[in-house]
Structures are given as structure tokens and as C-alpha cells.
Amino acid sequence: MRIAVIDGEDVLCRVVQAALEWNGHTVGCFARPPSHLIGFDLVIIEPGEHMGWIDTVMQLQAVGMRIVILTFYDENIVAGEALGLPAFKKLSYKRSGLASLMEEVSSIQVVVEDRP
């Protein structure tokens, strides 16, 4: 399945991407909604604080895109439920620890890829 992950938090986007790719999916990560999502089967989106991208969610839903909301914000959970969409609350995490771990993993991958 081709999945678009839209989340302004790059670290979280990469974590979701890694988990989905581990399960065989093709994943595209976006910091903000792109102008076109042609070719994707599913969109996982964080609409943002104060439902900043909820209009995007409704536009995607209007064209038949399958959508999952993954968010820190209760108002996005309520909006997702009102739209009949699956909506899940992100768990709190310590950003500095997670960011450090992701940077460490990324640097290891770069070293391995750069080997002759």
C-alpha cells in the first residue's frame, strides 16, 4: 500500500514511516499537505493545533481518499469522529530523547550506505 504521512514534526513522520515501511508499505512523508496526493492509497495526517489542516482532511475525504487522523490535539479527535474518520491520539514523548535516537539511527544508516 502507498501511504502519505503528513505531519509537521519531522521526527514523528520518520518514526511512522519506518514502522510502515517495516511492514512492507511504500511511504511518502510531507511536512505540510502537498498540492496532489495522486497514487496514494491512504493518508495519515496530523491536522495540527487548532485544526489547521482540517480543511485539507475534508477535501481529501470529498474525493474518496482513505484518511486516518493521528494527533496530539483533542479537537482533532472530535473533528475526526464527526467526519466519520478513524482518529487516534499520539502518546506524549520526550522530544529530545526521541530526536536524539532518530538522529543516531540516521547517522548509522548514512555510514553504512557510504561504505565502498
CATH number of 44's domain: 3.40.50.2300
Contact 45, 3 (CB under 8 A): no
Judge whether 109 lies within some domain.
no
Contact 49, 73 (CB under 8 A): yes
Q: Which residue has the cell 487516534?
A: 88
- Domain, as residue range, for 75: 2-91
Residue 11, pLDDT score: 83
Judge whether 56 lies within some domain.
yes
Residue 109, pLDDT score: 47
pLDDT 10s digits, 43-58: 999 888 767 778 888 8
Judge whether 78 lies within some domain.
yes
pTM over 0.85: no
Helix (H, G, I), strand (E, B) or coil at 111: helix
Least confident of 37-41, 53-57, 108-112: 108-112
- Strands (E) located in the chain: 2-6, 26-30, 42-45, 66-71, 87-89
